[in-house]
Amino acid sequence: MPVHLAAHRPAGTGTPAGRPSSAAPSRAPDPAGRAAELDRLMRPDPRPGAHKVVVLALDGVYPFELGIPHRVLGSADGRYEVLSASVDGQPVRTDSDLTVTPGNGPEVLAEADTVVIPPYAISRASAAVPDPQALAALSRVRPGARLVSICTGAFLLAAAGLLDGRRATTHWALTDHFQELFPRVELDAGVLFVDHGDVLTSAGAASGVDVCLHLVRQDHGSEVANQVARRCVVPPYRDGGQAQYIERPLPPTGGTGTGPTRDWALQRLELPLLLEELAAHAAMSTRTFARRFREETGLSPGRWLTQQRLRRARHLLESSDLSVERVAHEVGFATATSLRRHLAAEAGVAPSAYRRTFRASGPASVRESAAATGQGPRGRRLTGS
């Protein structure tokens, strides 16, 4: 016999049988109100003077990447005002069976602090002869504004001459076509993103998440970037120098890979960590370990260690009062001078200036560049020093 857990109520009453009603009637659920409250928590209104980001949607835009800046930067507690625009103020066809209607025309680009060009469908013909309206819209961007491309968005920046003589990246599958069209650009097809400070280019699809988190990290520090990553349920940090996935033969099976050794190394970054020690932990020869490591991470063991040490050093500079010398010791750099040199190469500032920047309110103007590799000869400390 079925069991009914709801109390019996006589028809026409709102209370159990035999019990007088004294409480006010309960309010009906308000799903719309709950959704609005959740939206306010996840994407609060922009703060006064928030950094204005405009996402320029071109014909054939990819919907997923179009939404990335809104979702990631819009989750930074109102630090960014994220708007969308089209080249003519009209709806835009996507590369799928839907059309989007940006809220602005190209005139809003003149007000932007950062302009993001998400990917759009291209052919050899369209890439060789870009849309004049798109180039005209891009010309509205004011001097000093930051430009960011995701995937094929780099084709528009290159067509406008903004990448000439610069290192840049795009989706790995388009590299031959890109190099053929834009020989003046130094294309690096093996990285997730490249940051020149005023212009950033990123690879395909999810690397748009990485470059947007990178912007938050550069503007507001790792703590805010990590909060945003948690809200978006994505990994908090993938370095721009990390390899794109490029189709290649699978590495030989057998063995355990270098993942456990990377985890082991992260627990003892303050130690010298010779290449021989890492290889011994993985039960491999040094040559095999170095080869496997690069296959799995896209980096040499030395460069990877340098990046992890810098990442931890940045966190300590932001969150503690430890001296620069102590921070260097805690993360495994031989000297404070070594930390200063590597942080300057990565972020363009000294440790003391980095600490002041990310403890102050407001966005930071810290430039990310390629981290030094730190790869040394056999037996040398792999600290980058």
d(CA 200, CA 211): 8
**How many residues does the structure list for the chain?**
385
Q: How far is CA 154 from CA 20, 73, 181, 365, in A?
A: 71, 20, 12, 23
Q: Could you confirm whether 232 is annotated as catalytic?
A: no
Q: How far is CA 137 from CA 69, 105, 116, in A?
A: 19, 9, 12
Q: What are the strands, taking DSSP E only, across the chain?
A: 51-57, 80-86, 92-93, 99-100, 114-117, 146-150, 167-168, 186-187, 193-195, 199-202
Helix residue spans in 121-221 (DSSP H): 124-128, 132-138, 153-159, 175-181, 207-220
Looking from the CA of 200 toward its CB, the CA atoms found within 13 Å total 28
d(CA 113, CA 52): 5
- Cα dihedral 332/219/372/239 (nearest 10): 90
Residue type, 180: E
Q: Mapped to the 3 state alphabet, what secondary structure does 225-279 carry?
A: HHHHHHHHCCCCCCCCCCCCCCCCCCCCCCCCCCHHHHHHHHCCCCCCCEHHHHH
- Cα dihedral 112/116/120/124 (nearest 10): 100
- Residue tagged active-site, from 72, 87, 151, 299: 151
Q: Which residues are catalytic?
A: 151
